[in-house]
């Protein structure tokens, strides 16, 4: 597979304009849920306030722990906030430690020795996993501990994040420790999980102890009576080489240590997910409250009382500048991918038309690419290239766009009538003259139909590129899903749909012009 991607990588290098980051730029990343976005923005604003460094936020919303960690050690990311329990079990594969101090010391030492990555002091809260149920159900059945679910589990539906479903400190280990066998266990987006529990679509979820929605939805967190979950103390992790070059980063972030407890983190999360306040505004207010000594940030404070009911138009106005930027990014991803896909797909269609014996292999490979889930393809290409951003994203989009272009080119040429071929040969045309002057023009409507189909697919699939830091309109969709904010989701989905329609019409217009010419 790596060998097959080499020609595509070379073509990407020709099409992609590479712009190196300035030496004084810090690339901050986050995972794709609200608490992480708050922490990433908090670190970014502190660095912007107390250092002369430029902050790059383009890697917010990456698709999970493994992606963030790999990007960090491969020098594609400089800093993100990690959790000690996640590092201990998910990255280091260690077990048997329980105390917060012991876990922090263990992961800090291991990261320093193995990855040249420094853990800065913990921020102050423990964002541990928690098993949550509706309070009415807990009261009715007398559930206070996770152990209480053992007998009832076979009649309960569970909703867990995809990461929790796979982690050793997630459902696999939890089910063994507590002997839980749920009737069904669904993979769910973190933003939709809470609403699903509230609406009785599931009966149990893996909540986060610092998420403000636990109180907002009146859920009950069951006691981890067998101490299954390790401590998840949040702390910034930074590349060691970057700290050597810019020791001011340590100084700027040092005052953050121990300043946010569980309750404060709940309040910050609640302000974003339930009040609809922009993350930068929540963070800015918290920093100001620390500077002035005003105390805790209250989600009911007038300065952040901004209800979601403001509606789509109000959100559109607030995010108008970001929307323009994200639309351009999305169009850029789509344009690059389609240009490469056309340059590869049409010649491949011609080749398999001329050499029919190659058609099963070429079409078979293109069809196999279509069966690979988009997120899996993006994660695989990130591993292949070892870099985040547009290169793996564009490669994935090209691979998905190839099938309709190759297939329609092949089909269009095959449908050219034999009498026309014979007439072209009769007037003395060479095979290439016949191709350019007769066959391709006659096959043009079918070829363009394939290009239009590929373009619409590409616009849609490009929304997932946000999970590897490629930007685009998927950023809004990802954040909206994480916060269960329909307006924010629509802010990305509606322009993407409009873009797909407009590009399809544009291609159709170009086809008519070419046929008329």
- Report the SS3 class of residue 142: coil
Q: What integer pLDDT is reported at residue 229 of this predicted model?
A: 87
Q: What band does 111 get if pLDDT is binned at 50, 70 and 90?
A: very high
Asked if residue 464 has pLDDT above 90, the reply is: no
Asked if domains 22-126+232-260 and 129-221 share a fold, the reply is yes
SS (H, E, C) 6-74: HHHHHHHHHHCCCCCCCCCEEEEEEECCHHHHHHHHHHHHHHHHHCCCEEEEEEEEECCHHHHHHHHHC
**Residues with Cβ < 8 Å from 298, sequence gap 6 or more?**
267
| Highest mean pLDDT out of 166-180, 232-246, 298-312 | 232-246
Share of the chain above pLDDT 70, in %: 91
Q: What integer pLDDT is reported at residue 309 of this predicted model?
A: 45
Is 129-221 in CATH node 3.30.1490.20?
Answer: no
Residue-wise pLDDT for 357-374, tens only, equals 777 888 888 888 888 888
Asked if residue 186 has pLDDT above 70, the reply is: yes
Longest dimension (CA), the chain: 91
Q: What band does 116 get if pLDDT is binned at 50, 70 and 90?
A: very high
Instruction: For the domain made up of 22-126+232-260, give the CATH fold.
Output: D-Maltodextrin-Binding Protein; domain 2 (3.40.190)
Gap between the Cα atoms of 190 and 33, Å rounded: 7
Residue-wise pLDDT for 482-503, tens only, equals 776 788 888 999 999 999 999 9
Greater confidence, 64 or 114?
A: 114
177 close to 147: Cβ distance less than 8 angstroms: no
pTM confidence score = 0.73
Q: What integer pLDDT is reported at residue 18 of this predicted model?
A: 42
Asked if residue 75 has pLDDT above 80, the reply is: yes
- Report the SS3 class of residue 239: strand
Q: What integer pLDDT is reported at residue 372 of this predicted model?
A: 82
Q: What is the mean pLDDT of residues 270-283?
A: 86
Burial profile 206-222: b = 16 or more Cβ within 10 angstroms, e = fewer: bbbbbbbbbebbebbbb
Q: What integer pLDDT is reported at residue 296 of this predicted model?
A: 54
Angle between helices 2-15 and 390-414 (to 10 degrees): 100
Share of the chain above pLDDT 90, in %: 45
Rg (CA), the chain: 26
Instruction: For the domain made up of 320-516, give the CATH fold.
Output: MetI-like fold (1.10.3720)
Q: What integer pLDDT is reported at residue 437 of this predicted model?
A: 86
Residue-wise pLDDT for 205-224, tens only, equals 998 888 888 888 889 999 99
- Annotated domain spans of the chain: 22-126+232-260, 129-221, 320-516
Gap between the Cα atoms of 412 and 357, Å rounded: 18
Asked if residue 469 has pLDDT above 90, the reply is: no
Asked if residue 305 has pLDDT above 50, the reply is: no
Angle between helices 374-385 and 2-15 (to 10 degrees): 80
Three-point CA angle 432, 436, 438, nearest 5°? 105
Greater confidence, 225 or 191?
A: 225
Q: What integer pLDDT is reported at residue 15 of this predicted model?
A: 43
Three-point CA angle 8, 10, 14, nearest 5°? 110
Residue-wise pLDDT for 19-48, tens only, equals 445 568 899 999 988 899 999 999 999 999
């Amino acid at each position: 597979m790596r060998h097959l991607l080499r020609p595509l990588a070379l073509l990407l290098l020709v099409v992609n304009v590479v712009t190196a980051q300035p030496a004084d730029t810090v690339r901050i990343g986050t995972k794709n849920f609200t608490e992480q976005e708050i922490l990433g923005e908090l670190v970014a604003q502190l660095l912007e306030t107390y250092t002369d460094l430029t902050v790059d936020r383009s890697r917010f919303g990456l698709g999970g722990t493994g992606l963030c960690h790999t990007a960090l050690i491969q020098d594609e990311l400089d800093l993100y906030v990690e959790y000690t329990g996640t590092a201990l079990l998910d990255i280091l594969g260690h077990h048997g430690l329980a105390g917060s101090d012991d876990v922090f010391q263990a992961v800090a030492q291991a990261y320093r020795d193995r990855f040249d990555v420094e853990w800065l002091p913990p921020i102050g809260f423990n964002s541990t996993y928690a098993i949550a149920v509706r309070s009415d159900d807990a009261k009715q059945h007398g559930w206070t501990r996770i152990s209480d679910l053992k007998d009832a589990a076979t009649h309960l539906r569970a909703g867990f994040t995809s990461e929790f479903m796979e982690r050793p400190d997630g459902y696999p280990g939890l089910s063994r420790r507590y002997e839980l066998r749920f009737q069904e266990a669904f993979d769910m987006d973190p933003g939709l999980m809470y609403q699903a529990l509230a609406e009785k679509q599931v009966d149990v979820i893996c909540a986060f102890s610092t998420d403000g929605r636990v109180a907002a939805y009146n859920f009950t967190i069951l006691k981890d009576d067998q101490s299954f979950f390790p401590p998840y103390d949040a702390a910034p992790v930074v590349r060691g080489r970057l700290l050597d070059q810019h020791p001011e980063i340590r100084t700027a972030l040092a005052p953050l240590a121990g300043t946010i407890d569980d309750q404060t983190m709940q309040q910050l999360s609640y302000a974003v997910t339930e009040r609809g306040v922009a993350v930068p505004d929540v963070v800015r207010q918290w920093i100001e409250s620390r500077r002035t000594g005003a105390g805790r940030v209250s989600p009911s404070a007038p300065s952040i009382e901004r209800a979601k009911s403001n509606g789509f138009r109000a959100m559109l106005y607030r995010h108008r500048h970001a929307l323009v930027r994200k639309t351009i990014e999305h169009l850029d991803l789509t344009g690059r991918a389609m240009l490469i896909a056309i340059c590869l797909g049409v010649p491949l269609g011609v080749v398999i038309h001329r050499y029919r014996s190659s058609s099963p292999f070429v079409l078979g490979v293109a069809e196999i690419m279509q069966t690979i889930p988009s997120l899996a393809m993006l994660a695989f290409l990130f591993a292949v290239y070892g870099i985040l951003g547009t290169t793996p994203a564009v490669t994935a989009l090209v691979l998905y766009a190839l099938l309709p272009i190759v297939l329609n080119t092949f089909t269009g040429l095959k449908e050219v009538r034999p009498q026309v071929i014979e007439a072209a040969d009769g007037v003395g045309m060479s095979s290439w003259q016949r191709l350019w002057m007769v066959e391709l023009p006659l096959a043009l409507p079918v070829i363009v139909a394939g290009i239009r189909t590929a373009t619409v697919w590409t616009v849609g699939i490009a929304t997932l590129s946000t999970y590897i830091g490629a930007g685009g309109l998927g950023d809004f969709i990802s954040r909206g899903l994480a916060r269960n904010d329909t307006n924010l989701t629509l802010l990305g989905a509606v322009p993407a749909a409009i873009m797909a329609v407009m590009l399809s019409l544009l291609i159709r217009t170009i086809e008519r012009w070419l046929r008329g010419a």
